[in-house]
Each structure stands twice: as C-alpha cells, then as structure tokens.
Amino acid sequence: MAINFEDLERQIKERGRLTTLDNGVVVTSENVPGSGLLKGGFTVQAGHGYEAHHGAAHFLEHMCFNGSRSTPSQEAYEEQANTIGLLTNASTGVFDIGFPIQGANQSGFLLHHYFPEALRLVTDIAFFPTLTEASLRKELPIIQQELKDKVQREANDPTRELYAVMMARVQRNNPFFEKNGLGTVESLNTMTREQLRAHHKKFFIGPHVRFALIGDLNGNDSQASRTIEARLLEIPAGTRVAPLEVRAEEPYKGRERLELQSPNKGKSQISINFHIPPAHHVDAYQFNVLAYVLANSTNSLLYRELREQRGLVYSVRANLSGHARTGFFEISYSVDPDKVDESLAVVDAAIERVRAGDFDEAYIRAFELANLPQLLYNFQNPGWIQAELFERVSKERFGVQSTHLERLQRALTQGKREAVHAANQYLGEDRLEIITTKN
C-alpha cells in the first residue's frame, strides 16, 4: 500500500486552514468533523533565549497563572479549569513559551462545547495577566525550590558533568545548550515585577503567537471558528522581534578525539559523531536509512559484526539529533576497555562498506516496510494536517527548508544510490570520537 500524496493534499485543502489574523496571530487548524472534540494551544515566541534578565521567561510562565482580567487568583483559575476538564500547564523553552488548551486526559481533547470557555481562560492568563507584587512574592520561593531541586539532582548524578563536557564539544556553537532557563540564585533574588512586565509587553503580541487547533469545527466557516477567531483578535498587535539565530557548527577537522574519565566503573562508552544537515533539510530522511543500515536493526552491519560475530557489544545504536542549523549522526555503544580499538576498526569498515555501496538494496526495502505502516497509521489520526501546516508556517517565517510531506515524498522516490551519496558526503574522516573510560 503506497502513500497517496494527492489525496493527502486534498485532505489538507478540505480540512486544514492556515490564517494570519489582523493582529499578526498565525492560526493553523485541522477540522475533524463529527468528533465532538477540540484541543489546541498557544506557542509564544518569548522563551528564555530572548530574556533580558536571566530566568524572567520561566518566572513569567509561573506568574501568568496567578491572576488575570477574569480570574483574580490561581485558585480561581484552577477551580474554573476543573469544572470543564481543562489541563493546567505551561512550559518554557529557549525559543517559546507554550500554553496548551487541552483536556486533562491522555488524548488531550476537550468536549466541543467547553472549548470556548477553555480558550477564554487560557487567553486571559497568557495575554492579560495581572502580574502583581503579591504573586511575585508567592512564586519566588516556589521557583527557588525548583532550582534547588535541579541543582541537587545534577549534583547527585555522577555522569551529568561528563555529559555537559561531551555536549559542549559536540554542539560548540549552540549558546543555549547549557543555559539554565530557571535562572540563578542571584537573578531570582533580583527579579522585579517591572522586568517581568517588560518581557510580557515586548513578546506577548500577535506577531509572536502561533495558535494550533484540532477537532470538530463543523466546517471552517462555522460559528465555533468565528467565536475562536474573535477571542484571538483580542491579543494585542505589535512589532515582531526577529527570531533567534543559532550558528551552524564548525566542521570537525579530521578525526578529532575526546577522551574522558568516568566515575562509573565498567565498560568504555563510545560515541562517534558526524555533522549532517538539520532535520528539516529536504534530504534528511536519508540519514534514517543510513542509521538503519549501519546499526538500528538486528540485521544491520554493525549489529551483526560487533555483537553476533565478535561478541564485543550487547547493543549498538545510530542516533539522530541536532538544532536548527546542524544535524548530528551518532554511533554509540559500550565495550570492554581493551576492545575499544578493535571496535572502532569494525565501525570504520562498516562505514566504508556503506560509502562504497557494498550492501544489499534489500536494506532499503526493509526500512521502508518497517516504517510505512507507522506513516499510514499517522495519516489516519488527528493532528497530522495541523502539524504539516505548522511546518509550512515555519518554512515561510523561520527559514525551515522543507515540510514533513516534502521530505517524505522526496524520500520515497530515492533508494540506495542516494543513501550512498549521503554517506560519502557526510560520513567521512571528519568526525568526533568520544571515548569515556572508568577511572
């Protein structure tokens, strides 16, 4: 069974909607007629990467729940939220603060007729909070305790410092990797209401807001849609701040090696890293194929050689990660310290086989057959249209190179030749080998 991309585009046109409101709010919606359910949420470009005072974004997230134009306190908000089954939650990241409008259940959906009330509650706390001195004093010890708990967890984790050293070398140009979004003891103690209000005024405006909606809209011109749009138009307009830029990582120069000492006794941990294109690159799919051929199946080259034939490892994985400008392809496994060199030689040989095209094309077919059912399943469930529209917005506004459907459609027309080309272009001598051994 193949994926019918013409039918998927038809579904997007019939059930999806991408709108920019007069105040700059971008709305992506997916109609699921007849379900009687709705869920959504705000993403606000206001994360801790933009803050002028360390910890202000996360602190503001807490403060928003403590009172709005329609709920005088957190208790009042939670009481009203509980009467309609609304989840009370928010999250702060480097780029965004997220406010879900979802049910307190596994699906996240709310009953259709409760959604307008849920939208009102969340819109008011997010965009019309009171931000009083009293709420600042209330939240300060809570966030201080959150910071203490985080510091204590990291202090009790003997591998945390080791991991930080590793990732600082892998992601050298990512200034946000190790930034603590909670703030510091000093920055929390000097936090003021004026600083929080300034952050809110600058960033909680229409051009920084993306609103996602999935569920029963009864058609895009329904009363429900008009009610939701009217509420979103209450969000203040303003001047958009340019999105944060993360620089591309500097290429590895030949075979770089980082040798670390671990407080844990036992096997040596091996991490072999290559730079690849970011996940939104139109050819990013090829690296999932390479991960499968090299390590991520029981028939993979490294699994068969390292484990089945030589007995050097119990498991081996190829992991894909990265940020907006650079992707990372990592091969990782554990091995006895006296077998490190032998295992690295096996990895070298396997990569050279792939670069030479010395593997059966049946690997490609097996990967497709393993993943096609999941893709087909995803297209049968709510959410994929909204997610695709969200990526189309990101492509336009943030320079994302391709959307999920574009990457998938391109991938399904490619095969072994393209995978070999990607291996030759990116899985070469330029790499970082991290070898962690016991003290």
Question: Is residue 282's pLDDT more than 90?
Answer: no
pLDDT at 177: 64
Task: Report the percent of the chain where pLDDT is more than 70.
Answer: 95
Mean pLDDT, residues 11-27 taken together: 95
Question: Is residue 220's pLDDT more than 70?
Answer: no
Question: Is residue 56's pLDDT more than 60?
Answer: yes
Each residue of 91-137: pLDDT tens digit? 999 999 999 999 999 999 999 989 999 999 999 999 999 999 999 99
If you average pLDDT over every residue of the chain, what do you get?
91
Each residue of 183-194: pLDDT tens digit? 999 999 999 999
Whole-Å CA distances, 92 to 50, 182, 202, 291, 323: 11, 9, 16, 31, 17
Residue ranges and CATH numbers for the domains of the chain are 14-232 (3.30.830.10), 255-438 (3.30.830.10)
| Structure token pair of residue 438 | 């016991």
**pTM for this structure?**
0.90
Give the closest residue to 163 by CA, choosing from 178, 147, 183: 178
CB 129 within 8 A of CB 76: no
Question: Is residue 221's pLDDT more than 60?
Answer: no
Rounded to whole angstroms, the Cα distance separating 354 from 213 reads 43
Mean pLDDT, residues 377-401 taken together: 85
Q: Which of 39-43, 158-162, 230-234, 340-344 is predicted with the least confidence, judged by mean pLDDT?
A: 158-162
Mean pLDDT, residues 59-78 taken together: 96
Question: Is residue 438's pLDDT more than 80?
Answer: no
CB 39 within 8 A of CB 102: yes
